[in-house]
Chains A and B, each alone.
Chain A
């Protein structure tokens, strides 16, 4: 029983951490139509920033500032935001698949930098011993994880409310207008470049927060955590849950992470040991399959987009 509870806590922590990144992607893709195929890169930037700011000092590697957890979170969001600002300015004329190709390339570059810039990132070995803030506050792994879950729920809720607030507003209405018809919205006086950049930066900051939480929970960061498969997982979570709906984004994170972990369990217990080594590939195929089936059968996701944008435009047919 305890085993199941602690597994459930562990599962919820990870799915909510991913959920925060999905909320960020939803702001970019769901509400604004920005095809960010470099999600893993921005999660990675947040994770490494957290590791550098809060981790212990070590020889021949930058960082180890041992700063408090909260400073790490803020720092991760700020650095991801700055990186997104730089990427956003460079790619501000790119749309649709062109932006996807550019961001995908940037994420791969970020991963390769993490892999090779040993002084900053510890190279292939990554950075270890990142403190988990619950270690000093609770006794035993279950209590610590339960406390960490509380932290993740609180931060997830804050992210959810913060994003809900700005998308159900005149700002959110501009995002949607630009997504639907950029020429019409610019002819009506809205500046698409500025608004797209804002949505891109804010979304990447949520991804940075997600990466920071991930690394302080796992206690370890390595370049292998931010391969393109992570981007596709986050995308699948959004498509399954429902683009342009924040509740859908969180639901998608729970479902897809659930399928992912269960499939891992099934593969390790059912699949013959000779082909166990291909387990990861099987999981990747499964994610791709879910994505395709969902797009064919229910392209708007489990919870689709609402018609009304601004919460102030309520009582439509009064």
Chain B
């Protein structure tokens, strides 16, 4: 049985002037996977993420999520279609509390229309209570309960990574793009992070992960895509990637 792919990327190309950052990338992802996207620095991984998430417009190619085209949409529309991403360098709302960083996320809140705060305050309050409960659950899941009342700007680098994860979880997307979730995270927190990703995956969340930590990638990601100089070099299993001469040459080298 082969289901239609959740995310389908066909010939996506992104150029900056003469430089082609992403060169005819094509791959499909099925629902329920933790896919890894690896490659040397400057390979175009984050540019591909930015293009998928609507921050950049692809020059060519198409992206379909659950059968619907999302290429060329602005970021908030991409998010509304069910694709959420985190950032390599976390982008918290520094002067808001951790709790409200997460509470701001749900889409289509009644209280996001300003007039509802005048004319339907009861409804807004009710929805906010639900959002708060849900946010607190997610914050607890991400291990941030102790700091939920703190300014997000005061969190450590690792905690900010977890806050990024908490925010995308609050959006409850069909697919989550994680950009280097383990970078700058201490080893014990990284174990937590890996567990969280696996636990979420077991609950049905699909992930596409950019990561340089090979231990993490090789242990939890399947399939693995390798990018170099904007092109897709390899797509397949983790063990296959370790043996592929092109991958070894471009990125992995003599990985043990």
Binding site for B on A (CB under 8 A): 162, 165-166, 169-171, 173-174, 176-177, 180-181, 183-192, 198, 202, 305, 307-310, 312-313, 316-317
Contact = CB atoms under 8 A, between A and B. Distances in A.
Given A187-B53, A191-B76, A316-B149, A170 B91 contact: no
Contacts, number: 122
Given A166-B117, A181-B93, A198-B114, A188 B79 contact: yes
B97 A308 contact: yes
Contact of B91 (A165, A169, A184): A184
A185 B96 CA distance: 13
A167 to B, nearest CB: 9
Secondary structure at chain A's binding surface: helix, strand, loop or mixed? helix
A190 B167 CA distance: 13
Given A173-B103, A202-B114, A313-B128, A189 B79 contact: yes
Nearest to B132: A313
A183 B91 contact: yes
Given A170-B103, A170-B131, 13 more contacts: A166-B114, A169-B117, A171-B113, A176-B95, A176-B96, A188-B171, A189-B80, A198-B114, A307-B97, A308-B97, A308-B100, A310-B111, A313-B100
Contacts of B110: 170
A285 to B, nearest CB: 33
A177 B85 CA distance: 16
Contacts of A177: 93, 96, 104
A176 B93 contact: yes
Contacts of B148: 316-317
13 contacts: A162-B118, A165-B121, A173-B104, A181-B92, A184-B92, A188-B84, A188-B171, A189-B79, A202-B114, A312-B125, A313-B103, A316-B99, A316-B148
A171 B75 contact: no
Contacts of B105: 188-189
B17 to A, nearest CB: 22
Chain B contact-residue range equals 35 or more
Given A184-B87, A186-B74, A165 B107 contact: no
B104 A170 contact: yes
A299 B85 CA distance: 34
A171 B110 CA distance: 9
Contacts of B97: 307-308, 313, 316
Contact of B75 (A170, A173, A187): A187
A188 B129 CA distance: 20
Contacts of A310: 100, 103, 111, 128
Contact of A309 (B76, B85, B96, B124): B96
Contacts of B149: 316-317
Contacts of A308: 97, 100
B117 A165 contact: yes
A170 B96 contact: no
Nearest to B83: A187
B245 interface: no
B95 A312 contact: no
Contacts of A313: 97, 99-100, 103, 128, 132
B192 interface: no
B4 to A, nearest CB: 24
Interface string B101-139: 001110101111110011001001101110110000000
Contacts of B93: 176-177, 180-181, 184-185
Contacts of A181: 91-93
Q: Which of A174, A305, A312 has the most CB of B within 10 A?
A: A312
A171 B112 contact: yes
A162 B119 CA distance: 11
Contacts of B132: 312-313
